[in-house]
Amino acid sequence: MTPKTHPKADLESNFCRNPDGDKGGPWCYTTDPEKRWEHCDIQDCTEECMQCSGENYRGKISTTASGFTCQRWDSQKPQNHGYIPSALPDKYLEENHCRNPDGEPKPWCFTTSPSKRWESCSIPRCTTEPPTIVPELTCASGEGSSYRGTIAVTVSGKTCQEWSSQSPHKHSRTPENYPCKGLDENYCRNPDNERSPWCYTTDPKTHWEYCSVPSCGDQLRPEEPVIPEGEECYEDDGSSYRGAMSETVSGKKCQFWTSTEPHRHSKTPQNFPAADLRRNLCRNPDGDRAPWCYTTDPTVRWEYCNIERCDSKASPQEPPSNPTEPAASPSTSQGTGLSVYKLTN
């Protein structure tokens, strides 16, 4: 390896370089006769810094901002939780590395201290430009994370509160915390992996609501259902419900119907082909009294979903301690899984 054989590798003086594309990073020959070469101690900027809010951070930092050691994501001790790596494969919940699987302002982890359930991690922002997106200005595809239009009214007609304002509602979804989410003025956005664009409202009695942003039609992902107007409530026992809710009455995330972790079950798309058991959307495949789902919390097998009846507009009550699920009676207990609520964040 010489400047002549690798003229584009910038092999000046004795500086660390990587002329041969070594996966371990920059290296050099050493002055030690017994050690021909060695990798250099240089921080990997692509891994140990974060872009935006750290949604795509895949580094190995595993201590929190206060110095607590992170708990492994595949462990339930000392913190019991619903962030199961096998149930959330696209979140890269590896070992005990800090991650941001749920739209927080920065990566975080559960801690190994019984006195501290979870905490954000101190990860520096990258100095390079964040990845660009193709903004959608007139419609939203998928969950609407790329929507950058100017709609600023909710589904019930309420005016949106400016993202930089803390009145009438205090919150953490600010342009400073979410620098890549287009939180301009009071336009509807989806900074935190909700199911569609939303905003805080200027009505002191209504903290936040989804917005009436039209779907981009054929730009929708194939697995995303097109939700007809009015489908966010259910008729009768909800067997015909085909909406996009995937959250229970207590705020827990729904387990995918095709998954058997953390809860084994027989309510699969193959066994109930007419029930539309796609992804982790709330459904009622077995004639229960309302749409429900298995949860990602290992201590809570299932719960009814956070959906109102179309006629009464009354949310279903939480299941009793020993609810009866036709053909398979699950037992339910309340867990303590971390839930991210806009009301408190």
Report the share of the chain in percent with pLDDT over 70: 82
List, for residues 180-198, the tens digit of each pLDDT value.
899 999 999 999 878 789 9
Confidence of residue 8 (pLDDT cuts 50, 70, 90): low
**Domain map of the chain by residue range?**
18-131, 134-224, 225-334
Question: How does strand 37-39 pair with strand 27-29?
Answer: antiparallel
> What pLDDT is attached to residue 42?
54
CATH classification for the domain delimited by 225-334, as one of 3.30.559.10, 2.40.20.10, 3.40.50.2300, 3.20.20.70: 2.40.20.10
| Range from 12-26, 107-121, 177-191, 296-310 carrying the lowest mean pLDDT | 12-26
**Is residue 185 within 8 Å of residue 163, measured between CB atoms?**
yes
DSSP-assigned states of every residue in 135-192: -BSS-B-TT-TTB-----BBTTSPBBPPTT--SS---S--TTTSTTS---TT--B-TT
pLDDT (tens digit, 9 = 90+) per residue, 269-287?
888 988 989 888 899 999 9
Q: Residue 304 in 3-state DSSP?
A: strand
Which CATH superfamily, name and number, covers 134-224? Plasminogen Kringle 4 (2.40.20.10)
pLDDT in tens, 41-59: 654 544 589 888 898 899 9
Question: Mean per-residue pLDDT for 289-318?
Answer: 80
Q: What CA–CA distance (Å, rounded) separates 144 from 138?
A: 11
Q: Residue 234 gets which letter from DSSP?
A: E
Domains 18-131 and 225-334 share a fold: yes
Would the pTM count as exceeding 0.85?
A: no
Q: What is the pLDDT of residue 7?
A: 72
pLDDT tens digit string along 225-270?
Answer: 434 333 478 889 999 998 878 889 988 888 889 888 888 899 988 8
Q: Is 149 left (phi over 0), alpha (psi -120 to 50) or beta?
A: beta
Strands 27-29 vs 108-110: parallel, antiparallel or unpaired: unpaired
Q: Which CATH architecture has domain 18-131?
A: Beta Barrel (2.40)
pLDDT at residue 335, rounded to an integer = 30
Structure tokens at 47: 């891994």
Residue where the block lists tokens 């015909």? 240
Other C-beta atoms lying within 10 Å of the C-beta of residue 85: 17
Q: What DSSP line would sit under 63-111, residue for residue? A: B-TTSPBBPPTT--SSS--S--TTT-GGG---TT--B-SS--SS-EEEB
